[in-house]
Amino acid sequence: MRIAMIGGGYVGLVSAACFSEFGHEVHVVENNPQRLYALQNGEIPIYEPGLDTLVNTNMRAGRLSFGNNIAAAISDVQAVFIAVGTPPRNGDGHADLQYVYKAADEIAQSLTDYTVIITKSTVPLGTSRKIAERIRQKNPKLDFDIASNPEFLREGNAIGDFMRPDRIIVGTDTAQPERSQNVQAILRTIYRPLSLIEVPILFTNLESAELTKYASNSFLAMKISFINEMADLCDKVGANVHDVARGMGLDKRIGQKFLHPGPGFGGSCFPKDTMALMHIAEEHQAPSRLVEATIKVNETRKTNMASRIIAHCGGSVKNKTLAILGLTFKPETDDMRDAPSLSILQRLDDEGAHIQAFDPVGMETARPLLPHTVRYCSNVTEALTQADAVVILTEWNEFRALPPEFLKTHMRGKIIIDLRNIFDPKTMIEVGLQYYSVGRADLSLAPLP
C-alpha cells in the first residue's frame, strides 16, 4: 500500500520506518527544515536503537521517502496517518492540538480521492471526530473515513514494540457499519505482516481507541507510583521492595512489569498523558482520583529524592562534588522530557553542590535544560574524579557493569546513592563503600567493620 505519514518526529519516524519494512511505500511529511534535511540525508535526529539502520535500508530500497510537500505525499495514497506532537498546553496542561488540526486542514486542502485518515498522535477523546468535521467543512465533496490508531511504543524499544506488539487498537466510526468495515479491511491490510505472528487487532469506536491510550499509560504510571510508595514504606519497616515486587508480580493478575522503584517516571508519555486524562475526566464530570494521586506522588517523589541525596551526604551538599551518572529519564534514549534529573539537579545546584555529570547519549539534550554550572564529563572515570558521592539516576547497562573497586579507586569519598538499585549491596559494602539504595533498608548499610 501507499501510505503518507504527517510528522517525522518520534512516533511518525518509527511508524514510517516499520511500515516501510512491512513492504509498504511510505512518504513522510516533515516541516522542520533541520529535521527534514537530516532525514533526507539518512541522519536520525533522535536516539533509538536500530532506527538508523531501518530508515537507511528502506530509503535505499525506495520504500521510504521524506519531504515537506503534503500534496505530493498524499497523492494516490490509501491511508494518511497524523503523527504530529501533542505537547501539554502552556498554563493548563491540556493536550495542545494545534499541530493536529493544522495537519487536518492541510490534508483537506490537498486530498482529491478516497483515503482513510488515521490519527496516531495521542489525542483527547473526541478529537478524531473533530478532525473529520474540520475536513468536511473545508472540503465538503471529499470522500474519506476517519480512524484512530494509537501507538504504544516504549522509547529504547520502539522498533521491537512496533514489530511485535501486544495488540493493535483501531477505532472507527461504528455508527456507519459498512464504512467501518471498509476501514477495518484497510487497516488489516496495513498491519497484515503482524497476522503471521497472530497479533490481535481490537476494533472499537473512535472514543474507546482514544481513551485506551490514555488509560493504558496512566495505569502503568500508577503502578510505578505505587511501587515507589511501597519502597518508601520498605525503608521504614526494614523490608526489601524487590522481594515485595516479586511477590506481587508472580500474581498473574498483577504482572511483574513496571514494579521497579526509582526516582519517579518521566519521558514524553506518562507525565503528559496522566495530566491529559486528569483534565479529560474533570471536563466530563467523572474525576479520576487515582490518576490525580499518581501525578502528585510522582512530583513529590522527585523532590524527596533530592532530599534523600542531601541526607545521605550528611545533611548538606554545599561545596561537595557529586558524580551524577545518567541524566535521561530512562536508558536507551536521549529524551530529557520530565526526566527526574531536571528537578533533582536543580535542587542540588541550589544547595551548593558541584555537579559532574555523565550520560552515554543524553548530555547534549540535557545541556540547555540543566543549571549552567553542571560540568559534563566525557566518561565515567572523569565524572568520578574527586567526587565525594556518586548518584545513579539512570540505569544504563554501562553503569551496571561498574566494579565496586573501580568506584572506590576513582572517587574521593565513599558514598554511593543508587536511586535505581542497579548494584549489589553486599559487594559494595565489602569493599568499604557506604551504599544507599531505594526500598532496601535492610541491605543499604555502612561499611562492615
- Joined together, the cell numbers standing for residue 192 give 497484515
Q: What is the CA radius of gyration of the chain?
A: 24
Residue 316 contacts residue 398 (beta carbons within 8 Å): no
- Given pLDDT bands bounded at 50, 70 and 90, which one contains residue 91? low
- Tens of pLDDT, residue by residue over 174-205, are 999 999 999 999 999 999 999 989 999 999 99
Candidates 234, 269, 313, 377; catalytic one: 269
Q: Judge whether 150 is annotated as a binding position.
A: no
Out of 3.30.930.10, 3.60.21.10, 3.40.50.720, 3.40.190.10, the CATH code matching 301-436 is 3.40.50.720
Mean pLDDT, rounded, for 141-170: 96
Residue 171: beta bridge partners?
148, 204
Fold of 2-199: Rossmann fold (3.40.50)
| Percent of the chain with pLDDT strictly greater than 70 | 98
- Give domain limits for the chain: 2-199, 215-296, 301-436
What CATH architecture does domain 215-296 belong to? Orthogonal Bundle (1.10)
- Asked whether residue 272 is marked as a ligand-binding residue, the answer is yes
- N residues, the chain: 449
* pLDDT tens sequence across 253-263: 999 999 999 99
| Active site annotation includes 269 | yes
Fold agreement (2-199, 215-296):
no
155 appears as a binding residue in the annotation = yes
Confidence band of 88 (pLDDT split at 50, 70, 90): confident
Those residues whose C-beta lies under 8 Å from the C-beta of residue 297, and which sit 6 or more positions away, are 225, 228, 229
Q: Confirm or deny that 35 is annotated as ligand binding.
A: yes
The burial of 150, by beta-carbon neighbours within 10 Å (0-12 exposed, 13-18 middle, 19 or more buried), is given as buried
pLDDT at position 239 over 70: yes
Residue 410: count of CB within 10 angstroms of its CB? 18
| For helices 241-249 and 206-237, angle between their N-to-C axes, nearest 10 degrees | 140
